[in-house]
Structures are given as C-alpha cells and as structure tokens.
Structure 1
Amino acid sequence: MAEYLQPEQMGKVGYEGKLNKQVMTLPEILKNNGYRTYIAGKWHLGGSDDSLPNARGFDRSFVLVPGGADHFKDQGLFQGYPAKYKEDGQVAKLPKDFYSTDFYTDKILSYLKDDRKKDQPFFAYVAYKAPHWPLQAPDAYLNKYKGAYQDGYDAIRQKRLNKQIELGLIPKNTKANNPFADKLPSWDKLTPAQKAEQTKTMQVYAAMIDNLDHNVGRILDQLEKSGELDNTIVMFMSDNGAESSTPESLPVNSIDRVTEQVGPA
C-alpha cells in the first residue's frame, strides 16, 4: 500500500510498497512448467519496471498499476497517484467505450483465444476492480435496478434473514445481528435526502455486481466452447466486499481534489 507508507516505515522490510523478490509468484512457477500466463485488471503491487506483471511471470498483461481509478475513463482517485495503465510493461491507452469490468474481460478472452498453442495449459488472473469505488455502472445495468432498495437497509436485512430461515439455512429463532446499531441511525431516522443517497448507492453497487457476474459468465462460456472448462480449476475470491469508505475520506485526498477527479455524485 505505497499510498499510505509513513515516514517511519520507509525502507523497512515488509513496507516496500511493491511485491518483493523473496518468493516466486504463482505465474513464475507455472510459466517455468510450460503454462502461458495472463493477467488483466488491477495490479497495485508496484509500478517500477522490475515489479510489473511482465517482470513477475506473466506472458501477457493489461493492468491498472495504482490502487484505484475511474471505471469509465483514464482518471485517478488518489492525490499524487494518477491512473496508469500498462500492457506488457508499456504505457497503454484506453478505448473510448472503456468500462473496466467489460474491458478486462475482453483482454483475458483475447489472450486465451489468440496467444496459446493448441492445448497449451494456462494461468489467467482477472483482477476486477468492481465493485470497489467509485460506484459506477453502465446505464443498461443501472436501469435494471430503478426503484429497488427503497425499503431501506433495516427492512432488507430482515427480509433476507427471513428467507434464509425459510430455506432452512439457519435456525428459526435466529435474530438479525446489527453490530452498528449504536453507531449508525436506523432507516426511519434518515432524512429524505439521506434515504435517496443510500438507495442510489445500493442500486449502483448492485448494477456493478450484476455486470461482474455477466463478465465472469463470458469467461466460463468461452472455456466451455473451447472444451476446456472441465479441465480448468476456477477460483473466485473477494478481498473486502463492498467498500465502506469514500475517496473523500482518505487522508491522501482532499474534498476539492476528489471533486476535480470524479465530479459530483
């Protein structure tokens, strides 16, 4: 996390701000054993030439180098850390119709289709930035969630709990756990403006997840069509789910800076 290094951490082991050379990466190991190796998406493991994906075992790569950026255009989110995209170690430009999740999928699919010998094994890492902020989604997905989530988080939490009880997933006497009950207001305590903001936030988040699900499906579909799906191990992981903070809250940013970068909500 190079963006947050403190003066007392500079130069210390474990605070390099990039992936160190003390271990081999998985693509380095697999590449040495005949695999073709690919990555598309967020890197955030160092921006120097010796720490980019092409220097750490990936045959082909298209990555967002820093930790965050706009989903639709070449704009950064962190003060002092502009958006920087690189393909195979070289500066890359984004297409006009760029949306991060769609584009990273396009890249991986092109690598899998056009960059291997017949039946050559592969390792593909798709590091989607969605649903990390900024909360942004294509209009076609946003439109699907118009009118949704207006009952508020209290009602939705209880509805989901009831459904899990109905399905037999959890005991009938299970009560909703709300560890923030004494820290965040209940839905009925919010102003109309606050309710509108929270509702819109959830709609956009859901749209991003929906789009992400579609793109994962695109990859599985291509593997199925090529006859490789049953011979492929698929792992889906998420680091921290929904992002609870906003760019404005980060110490590396100021309100004025973020407004300049991503515009009004």
Structure 2
Amino acid sequence: MRRNRPAAVLAALTLLHLLAPGTHAAPAKRPNIVILLADDWGFSDVGAFGGEIATPNIDALAAKGVRFSNFHVAGSCSPTRAMLQTGVINHRAGLGNMPETIPPEHQGKPGYDAHLNNRVVTIADQLRAGGYRTYLTGKWHLGHTPDSLPTARGYDHALALAQSGADNFEDKPNLLIYDQTEWSEDGKPAKLPARFYSSTLIVDRMIRYIDSGNASGKPFLASVNFIANHTPLQAPDADIAAYAGRYTAGWTALRNQRRAAVIAKGMMPAGVAMVTMNTSGDWSKLSPQERQQRAGAMAAYAGMATAMDREIGRLVAHLKVIGEYENSIFVFLSDNGAEATDPMAMGAFARWNANHLYDQSIARQGRPGSLTAQGAGFARASVSPLRGYQFSASEGGLRVPMIMAWPGNPAIRG
C-alpha cells in the first residue's frame, strides 16, 4: 500500500470510523483506535521490516494486519505529529518546521506558528464529537501554552511532554537544549515519580486513562507517543546487555545485513540498490575505543527499542484482559527516520558541554545520567537500504515503518 503522508491514515480512520450520533450506518460497537507513535525509528528497525532488534509485539500486530512499505512522513517530528493529529498538511496546521529549528527568516510567517494553530481541528476533536473517549500520553511537541496542550485540543486526559525529548529515567530535560522539562497533565504542570522509565510511564498512564472510562461503554482513542528512540538513548540494563557484542562488526556490515533482511521480508524488491553513504567514515579505520563506543551506543539504541516494544505488548495484553483487543484498530509508525545528530561528533564546545553535564564513559552508555546518541554511522543502518536521515528530504528521513491492524476484523489483513 502507498501513502504520501500521515494525513492519509487519520483521514481514512475519520471517514470510515467516525460515526456521528444518529448515523444510520453505525455498527453495534464502534472500534477503538490506538496510535502507537515511535520517535526517530528507521525504516528497517522493526523486526517485521527486516531489523535484528527484538520487536515481537510490534511484529505480532504486523502479522495481524498490513505493513506499509512505501509510507512517508515529514523529515522531523513536529510536522509529522501535526499531520497525524489533524489530517492536513503540516504548514496549514502551523508546523512548517519543528519549533527548535525554525530559521529566523521563517518565524512568524504563515505556516510557521511553532504550535498547532486554531485554524485546524484534531482527530481527538472529531472523535470526541462522535462519542469517543480521547486520551494522549507521551510526546506532544505541538505547543506548550495552556491553549495549545492536548486537553485544549480535544483530549479528555493527557500526560504530555511539550518538548522534543527528555531524560527517560528522571524528570530532567535534555540539558543541551532545555533548562527544564515541560511535562503536563490535563493542562497543568505534571509531577512525575522520582524514578521511572519513560516508555513504562507512558503506557501506565494510558492504561489508567482507559480503565477510568470503561464504565461509560464508549469507544476510545488512545494516542500513545513514545520518546523512544529520541536522544538521549537510555534503556534498562538488561535490555542493553541483550545486545552486548551484537554491533562490533560495524555499520556497513549491519547495513548490508538489513538490506538482505528487508528483501527477505518482502518490504523491498530483490533488486533494490544499496545506496552509498559516505557521511560516517570507515569502521575499520576507527580506533578500538571508538568502535567500542559506537557499538555500545547502537546496543543502547536497540535496547531502548526492545523496551518500548515490551510496553506495547503490555498495553495489548491489558486490552485483551478487558475485552477491547479484538475491537481495536492499531496504527504503528515512526515520526521520521533515524537521527544522525550526535553531540560527540560535533564541535569542541558541544563535546565539552556534553561531557560536563553527563557521564559519557563507554561503560555508562544508555544508563541513567548518560547522553548517548546513535550517530550517523548506525543511523544509516537503521534506514537501510535507503539514504538520508531525520531532517533531510531523502528517503531515509521520510520513509518509515507503518503498520495498521484490526485483529477482530479479518478484512484488515496483509
């Protein structure tokens, strides 16, 4: 199946499943809609798309539904999220670019409001008008003022991060970009637990919201927005340890393995070319310490993805327990391709600042207090066999994994 942008997904859901009160064609029970949005995952990161990373729960949804092999989004997160939430092109929604990267000459110009403007309605607005309960957890990144937070844009309840990312273990911002975090709940500053893990917190809160409205009998929209795998890459120790030694052959070897697996999974034709990318250097010419650092960063990336997948599995298991799994439409996608930005590969000041603010030892990569990034070398493996990354208009930045499944509807199958 081919789609040009996320608007196609939500427009289809709205047209097919938003049934206003009194509509004669209304089924006995309208389906729930569960959006599972990953952050900065490359095209071949998911197991069902050819990746070696363990994603059994996402793969299980793929087996129940349809994998989209030619699905495109925007090159950065806020524009994609604007389209996903509204069903219209991102400039019309006010996010021609993500707020942190709008150049001065664009600021204040039409299409560059830096937040979701009031000239559009959201999928939550429309579904709530049609009798749905509406919930959001996780990354919002579409505004941080009271009138631009999720509960002002159609959501009954929301635990939302207004920024591009944050620490995954504590209420701490990405100190290279922000002075403090902007987590809110139902439009007010949120008090997070002293210690938590982001993917677990995001699913915990969504389960709480869903359960709180079960007695109403209304279907629900659950917009679950992970901050995995946004920098800083962080995961529980066991998840990182599961990939120890997996990436020591380097990014070129992984990129070639991914290409073969993508073809074997039927996501690309057998003759698809391997695009040459020279942005990351020759793995064999790195020092032993550099190779250890880069392989460890990729292990943290994979561990973070597996930890997120496990939380998706926990949400799915809960929906089965409460009898809502079969009648739920699941939409999984990434907001853009893999992120190549890496503070440790930037200028001397960025490296000094990262080392000053975080524990950057190789042994601590992906752990609490660290700032770990995938970097361009392994980002090019995440998008294999495509070229480019997040922030580019190349296929690797725009073409992402997307899955749609409705387990109880046999017509929605691959």
Q: Which residue of 2 aligns with 1:73?
A: 170
Q: Which residue of 2 aligns with 1:223?
A: 319
1:146 CA displacement = 1.8
User: Would the alpha carbon gap of residues 243 and 169 (structure 1) be closer, same or farther in structure 2, given more than 3 Å must change?
Assistant: closer
Out of 82, 96, 104, the position equivalent to 2:194 is 96
CA distance in 1, matches of 2:339, 2:245: 22
CA contact under 8 A between 1:79 and 1:257: conserved in structure 2? no
Out of 124, 137, 162, the position equivalent to 2:235 is 137
User: After superposition, where does 1:4-15 map in structure 2 within 5 Å?
Assistant: 4-15=101-112
The reply to whether residue 194 of structure 1 matches residue 290 of structure 2 is: yes
Q: Which residue of 1 aligns with 2:145?
A: 48
User: After superposition, where does 1:206-217 map in structure 2 within 5 Å?
Assistant: 206-217=302-313
CA distance in 2, matches of 1:215, 1:32: 30
Q: Which residue of 1 aligns with 2:84?
A: none
Q: Which residue of 1 aligns with 2:29?
A: none
Q: Which residue of 2 aligns with 1:245?
A: 341
Read off the aligned partner of 1:209 and give its amino acid letter. Answer: A
Task: Encode CA deviations 1:30-59: one digit per residue, 9 max, x unaligned.
Answer: 111111100000111111110011100110
Out of 32, 35, 38, the position equivalent to 2:135 is 38
- Superposed CA RMSD in Å reads 2.5
Unaligned 5+ runs, structure 1: none
User: After superposition, where does 1:12-31 map in structure 2 within 5 Å?
Assistant: 12-31=109-128
Read off the aligned partner of 2:342 and give its amino acid letter. Answer: T
Read off the aligned partner of 2:295 and give its amino acid letter. Answer: T
Unaligned 5+ runs, structure 2: 1-97, 366-414
Out of 71, 86, 91, the position equivalent to 2:184 is 86
Q: Which has the higher contact order (CA 8 A, sep 6+)?
A: 2
CA distance in 2, matches of 1:249, 1:75: 23
CA distance in 2, matches of 1:169, 1:93: 43
Comparing 78-87 and 32-41, the one that deviates more: 78-87
Task: Encode CA deviations 1:209-232: one digit per residue, 9 max, x unaligned.
Answer: 111111111111111122211211
CA contact under 8 A between 2:259 and 2:274: conserved in structure 1? no
User: Would the alpha carbon gap of residues 222 and 192 (structure 1) be closer, same or farther in structure 2, given more than 3 Å must change?
Assistant: same
User: After superposition, where does 1:106-145 map in structure 2 within 5 Å?
Assistant: 106-145=204-243
Read off the aligned partner of 1:223 and give its amino acid letter. Answer: L
CA contact under 8 A between 1:36 and 1:116: conserved in structure 2? no
SS in 1 for 2:214: coil
User: Would the alpha carbon gap of residues 14 and 81 (structure 1) be closer, same or farther in structure 2, given more than 3 Å must change?
Assistant: farther
CA distance in 2, matches of 1:26, 1:221: 25
CA distance in 2, matches of 1:170, 1:155: 19
CA distance in 1, matches of 2:102, 2:267: 43
Q: Size of the alignment, in residue pairs?
A: 262
TM-score, normalised with respect to structure 2: 0.58
CA contact under 8 A between 1:53 and 1:89: conserved in structure 2? yes
1:120 CA displacement = 1.2
Q: Structure 1 vs Structure 2: percent identity of aligned residues? A: 37
CA distance in 2, matches of 1:169, 1:3: 34
User: Would the alpha carbon gap of residues 245 and 169 (structure 1) be closer, same or farther in structure 2, given more than 3 Å must change?
Assistant: closer
1:189 CA displacement = 1.9
